[in-house]
Structure 1
Amino acid sequence: MRPIWVVDDDHSIRWVLQKAISREGIPCEIFSSAAEVLERLETEVPQVLVSDIRMPGQSGLSLLSKVRDLHPDLPVIIMTAYSDLDSAVSAFQGGAFEYLPKPFDIEKAVELIMRAVRESQTEEFVEEAESAAPEILGQAPAMQEVFRAIGRLSQSNVTVLITGESGAGKELVARALHRHSPRASQPFIALNTAAIPKDLLESELFGHERGSFTGAQALRRGRFEQAENGTLFLDEIGDMPAELQTRLLRVLSDGHFYRVGGQQPIKANVRVIAATHQNLDERVKLGLFREDLYHRLNVIRLRLPPLRERQEDIPILAKHFLNVSARELGTETKRLSESAVRIISEFPFPGNVRQLENVCRWITVMAPAQLVEARDLPPELKAFQSGGNMALEQMAGNSPSPNLWLAEPVLPASTPSAPVSVSAMSAGKYPFDAVPSDLASVLAEPINAASWLDLLFIEAEKALEGGQPNVMDALTAQFETTMIQAALKATHGKRIEAAQRLGIGRNTITRKIQDLNIDVKDID
C-alpha cells in the first residue's frame, strides 16, 4: 500500500499524525517542508498528502497548486492554524480534498484521512457519454404512461392541459409535446401567468399598440403573435385573473384577439398547452375559474406524477443532474455511494424534480469527495435519515408541545390488580410499572394524540432509566411496525395503497416489512 505523506514545519504535529495513521495499518512518511515533498514526488506518489498551509519557504497552497498539476487525482488535505475565510476559499479553489483547521481532534483528522484513502483507491470514474441526453428521464410506470401520451399526441394540434405539483417538470412535457408535433419547426413560447403582474399580463399575452397606455411608446407584439404557427405554453393557468380568462376564452373560441388599444382583430394560429398545480375542478366550483374556459383547455388532460410516486427514477435523475451540474461548473462529476442513493431515493422531495436538481447542485459544490457518502448530503436529507423524532411529530399531526415531553405525570404509588385500560393510563390513574412494555400494544387501542405521547414519554423514560441500549432505534421500530400494520389493515393488505396513505414509497414499505419482520399473513 502506498504511504500517506504529512508535511508540516511543526514536529509535534508530524509525530502525532504519523502515530495515529500508523495505528490504522497504513504507512506514513513525514516531511518538514514543501521542497522535500516536491523532490520526492519526482520518483514516488503517495496515497494522500496532508499539508500545513503556512510553512517556511513554499506555502501549502503553492504545494497544492504544483501537486494538482503533476497528479490531479491525488487527494490533498490542507491544515492550518489560521482558519480564516481566505485560507478556506483558497484551499478549495486550489482543488483541496478537504480543509482541516487546527487545533483538530485527532480521531476526526484520521477519519478524514481514511476517507481520502478510500477516495484514492476508488477506480477512476469514466463519465458515460451523453451525446443525446433524453428529453425526459423516467422508467417508472407512471412516467411510461406520460411517454405513451406524448407519442399518441405527436401528430395532433389538440389543446392539452398538464396537471401536476410545482417542480414536477410540466414545462419539459410541454416542450416534448411541441418537439414531437407538426409545429416542431415553429416557435415555442412559454409564459408563467402567475409570475406576471395582473396589470401587465394582458399586454404580455396580446401585445399593445403605441400610446395605448402610459409608457407604451412603441407597438409591442404579445406572446400569441410571437408563437404564431407554433406552441404557446401557459404555465400556472389556474392563477389567471378572471378578466384575462374571458379574453383567453375568446381566442380559443374564435381564433382572434385584439392588442391592448387595438381596433383590428388579429387571427391566431397557435396551439395552446396549459399547465397548473391547482385543482381546477375545485376552483370552478368556487367560482375562481371559468367553467367554459376549463372545458376549452381540458380537451386532453395529462397528469405528471410527483417524484415520490416514481422513486425508482430518482437514481437515474440524480446521476443526470450531477453530470449536468459538473459540466456547468467545470468540475468532475460526483458519484453517489449506495447509502447516499438509498437516502435520496427514500426522501419525499416535496419540491419534486426541481428540488432534486438543486440537491445535486449542492452536492457538486459542497461534497468534499468524488464519492458522496450519506454524511455528505444536504442537511434536510441527513435530518430525514435520522428522522425518528420527525416521524413521531408527523403522527401527532404537528410538533409536540414541550409539556407533553417534559412534564412528569403525577401518579399514585399503588399498582392496581385489575387489568389496565389505555384510557385509564392516559388519565394518569396508574403508576409507570402498569404501562405495557410493548409500545405496539399501547398504540393498538384508539387514543388521542396527547395520551399516546404521554405513554410514549413513560415508555422512553422507563427504558432510559433501566439502561436499555439504543432506545431511539427500539421505540422507532415499534412505532413503524404499528403504523405499517395499521395501514395494511386499513387497506386490506394492499401495500402500494398503504404506502401512499402513509406518505412513503412502495419500495420503502416493502423494505421495512422485511427489516422489521412484520407478519402480514393475518392482515386482510
Structure 2
Amino acid sequence: MKPIWIVDDDPSIRFVLEKALAREGLSTRSFSHPREVLDAMAAIAQGVQAQPGPQVLVSDIRMPGGSGLQLLESVQALQPGLPVIIMTAFSDLDSAVSAFQRGAFEYLPKPFDLPKAVELIRRAVQESQREDVAQETAELAPEMLGQASAMQDVFRAIGRLSQSQVTVLITGESGSGKELVARALHKHSPVAQGPFVAINTAAIPKDLLESELFGHERGAFTGAQTQRRGRFEQAEGGTLFLDEIGDMPFDLQTRLLRVLSDGQFYRVGGHSAVKAHVRVVAATHQNLEQRVKEGVFREDLFHRLNVIRLRLPALRERREDIPMLARHFLQVSARQLGVEPKRIAESALARLADFDFPGNVRQLENICHWLTVMAPAQVVSLQDLPPEVLAYPATPAMRGETPAPPSGAAVSADEARPAGLHTSALGAPQVLAAESAAGAETLRSVSAANAAMAGGWEQALALEVRALLAAGGNEVWDRLAQRFESCLISGALDATHGRRMEAAQRLGIGRNTITRKIQELGLDVKNLNENGL
C-alpha cells in the first residue's frame, strides 16, 4: 500500500502520527517543509525515485517557508485525486473554509484527538482507493456497452470485420449510436493508424457539400481564395464516415458513386484526378430501399454501400442494457462536471427500463446529464426522474397491480385471469382449464374458477385443485406446476415482445433456465420465434 505523507515542521506531531498509523498497519513518510514534498513528487514522476507516491497527504497549514494551502494547490495540480487533510487551529475558520474551497478532503483541528485523527486518515485512504478504482475503470471502460443479444451480434460483426477494409452501411434510428459503431470499425481495422473523418451529409447545405467532400481549387467559385482539401483527402489512409447518407442530394450521389467505383475524384474546379485510399463507412436512419423506390436515392450507389450492413437496435429493443447504460452515463457526467457520481434507485431504473426512449441512447445520456445536475440527493429516486419519463404510463407490473374489471361488468374467462397469464400465441396452457375427463365436470370447474377469480387467483387455484382431485387426477402437483411455469414464461415473453433475455431478467431467472423450461414445457418454439425470440 502507498504510504501516508505527513508534512509538519513540528517533529512531535510527525512522531505521534507516525506511531499511531504504524499501529494501524499504515506506512508513513514524513516531511518538514512543503518544498520537500513537491521535490519528492517530481522525483517520483520523473522516475528518479523508486518509492511510491502518497496515498493520502496530511499537512499543517502554517510552516516556515511555505503554506499548507499553497501546497494543497500544487498537489491538486500534480495529482488531482489525492485526498489532502489540512491540520489547522480549531478557531481558524477562514483557513478551514479556504482549505475546502481549494479541494481539501477534510481539515483536522489542533490539538486533535489521536483516535479521531487516525479514523479520518482511514476514511481518506478509502477515498483514495475508490479514486484509484474509478480511474482504472475509466481507463478500461469499453468503447461500447451492451449485453443484449442484438448488441452482441453487432460486436461479433465488428470483430469479423477487423481484418477487412470493406465498405459498411450502418442502419438504425437516430441516437442509437451509429457513429460509435463507425469509430469502433475504424479502431479495429487495418487503417486504425490513419485518421477518422466524419461528415453529416444532412447538416451541410447542398451548395457547400460538394466542396466539403471533394475540396476545391483556388478560384473555383466566388470566395475560393485558396485551394482546399476535402474530407476524402483529409481521411487519406483512414476512414471516412458519411452520416445520414440517405439525405445526400441526388446529383452528388453520382460523384460519390464514381469515387467508390474508381477510387478517384476531382476537386471542384479541378482538372487533375486525385486518388482516394479511404475506407468508407456510411450510416442512415432512413429506409434506403424505400428511398430507391421513391427515386430519391440511386440504386447503384445503394448496392455499392450495402456491401456489409449492420443494423443497430433501438434502445427499446435492448431494455436489459438500460440500467448498465444509465449507471455508465451518470459516471461520465459526474467526471465531466467534477462532482461525485450519483447512484440510482432500483425503482427509478425500473421506470427508465419501461420508457420507450424515442431518442434512444442519446436521450438516455441526456437524461443522465440532467439528473446529475438537477436531482437533489446523491441517490436518484423515482420522483427525481424528468417529467417526460414520469408522464409515461407505467405498466401494471411496474406498479405491482393487477388490473381489475369495472364494477358490475361481466368478466370473461380471459379477463378474469391475472395479468400476464392469459392465453397467447405462445400456445401456453390456460391456468384455469380443467383436465377432467368428464365434460360436465370440466365446465363446472372452469365456471367456478372464473367466478372465483374476481375474489383472487389463489381462490381460483384452490377450486382448480379440488376439481382435479375430484376427477381422480394424479400427479396434480407436477401438472399444475408445469402449467403455472408455462403461463409465467409466456406472460413474460408477451410483455417483452419475445425477448428471451429480458423476460428471464424480469422473472428473476437465468437465460439458460428460461431456455430449458421452454424445451421442458414443450412451448411452441415456432410461435416464440415469430414473436421475435
Which letter maps to 1:378?
A: P
- 1:319 partner amino acid: R
Question: In structure 1, what is the equivalent of residue 169 of structure 2?
Answer: 161
Q: How do 1:4-23 residues align onto structure 2 when only pairs under 5 Å count?
A: none
CA deviation map 1:158-195 (0-9, x unaligned): 00001111001000010000001010110000001111
Contact preservation (8 Å) 1:166, 1:352: yes
Distance 1:386 1:157, change over 3 A: closer
- Structure 2 residue runs of 5 or longer lacking an equivalent are 1-93, 107-125, 400-405, 429-489, 509-517, 525-533
- Separation in 2, partners of 1:148, 1:202: 35
Does structure 1 residue 187 correspond to structure 2 residue 208?
no
Deviations for 1:434-466, whole angstroms, at most 9, x for unmatched residues?
A: x6254x77x97xxxxxxxxxxxxxxxxxxxxxx
Aligned positions of 1:142-153 closer than 5 A = 142-153=150-161
1:71-130 residue CA offsets vs partner (Å, 9 max, x unmatched): 9999xxxxxxxxxxxxxxxxxxxxxxxxxxxxxxxxxxxxxxxxxxxxxxxx98946422
Q: Secondary structure at the match of 2:212?
A: helix
Alignment of 1:366-405 (within 5 A): 366-384=374-392, 386=394
* TM-score between both structures, scaled by the size of structure 1: 0.56
- Say whether the 8 Å CA contact 1:311–1:505 is kept in structure 2: no
Aligned residue in 2 for 1:411: none
Q: Hey, what's the Cα distance between the residues in 2 that align with 1:247 and 1:71?
A: 57
Please state whether the residue corresponding to 1:172 is helix, strand or coil: helix
Structure 2 Cα separation of the partners of residues 198 and 159 of structure 1: 24
Bigger Cα Rg: 2
Is residue 265 of structure 2 the alignment partner of residue 257 of structure 1? Answer: yes
Secondary structure at the aligned position of 2:282 is classed as: strand
Give the TM-score of the pair, scaled to structure 2.
0.55
Q: Equivalents in 1 of 2:352, 2:271: separation in Å? A: 56
Question: 1:128-277 residue pairs with structure 2 within 5 A?
Answer: 128-129=133-134, 130-277=138-285
Tell me which amino acid in the other structure corresponds to 1:293. L
Which residues in structure 2 correspond to 1:450-469 (within 5 Å)?
none
1:235 corresponds to which letter in structure 2?
A: D
CA–CA distance in structure 1, aligned partners of residues 314 and 357 of structure 2 = 9
Q: Distance in 1 between matches of 2:314 and 2:272?
A: 44
Q: In structure 2, what is the Cα distance between the partners aligned to 1:503 and 1:367?
A: 32
CA distance in 2, matches of 1:72, 1:335: 23
| Match among 419, 424, 432 for residue 489 of structure 1 | 424
| Paired AA for residue 368 in structure 1 | P
SS of the counterpart of 1:165?
A: coil
Any idea what the Cα deviations from partners look like across 1:132-175, whole Å, max 9, x if unmatched? 22110111111111111111000100000011110010000100
Q: Distance in 2 between matches of 1:369 and 1:504?
A: 35
Q: Is the CA contact (8 Å cut-off) linking 1:230 and 1:270 kept in structure 2?
A: yes
**Cα deviation, residue 218, structure 1:** 1.3
Contact 1:309 1:505 in 2 (8 A): no
User: How far has the Cα of 1:285 moved from its partner?
Assistant: 1.5
For the aligned residue pairs, the C-alpha RMSD in angstroms reads 4.0
Amino acid at match of 1:366: M
SS at match of 2:259: helix
- After TM superposition, give the deviation of residue 497 of structure 1 in Å: 6.8
CA distance in 1, matches of 2:504, 2:183: 33
DSSP-derived class of the 2:280 partner: strand
Classify the secondary structure of the residue corresponding to 2:224: coil
User: Does the CA contact (< 8 Å) of 2:421 and 2:491 recur in 1?
Assistant: no
> Cα distance, 1:253 vs. partner?
0.6
Query: What displacement does 1:506 show?
Result: 4.5
Change (3 A) 1:362 1:262: same
Once the two structures are superposed, residues 200-242 of structure 1 have per-residue CA deviations (whole angstroms, 9 ceiling, x without a partner) of 1111100111111111111111000000011000011111111
In 2, are the aligned partners of 1:499 and 1:505 still within 8 Å (CA)? no
1:436 aligns with 2:406: no
Q: Which runs of 5+ in 1 are unaligned?
A: 1-61, 75-122, 392-431, 445-477, 513-519
Which amino acid letter does the alignment assign opposite residue 236 of structure 1?
E
Inter-CA distance 273–355: structure 2 relative to 1 (3 Å threshold): same
Aligned-partner residue type, residue 187 of structure 2 = R
* Percent of residue pairs identical: 62
How far 1:310 moved relative to its partner? 1.3
Deviations 1:270-299 (A, max 9, x none): 000000111111111221211110110010
Contact 2:351 2:394 in 1 (8 A): no
1:489, distance to aligned residue in structure 2 (A): 2.7
Amino acid across the alignment from 2:424? K
Alignment of 1:341-360 (within 5 A): 341-360=349-368
Looking at structure 2, the residues matched to 198 and 504 of structure 1 have their Cα atoms a distance apart, in angstroms, of 45
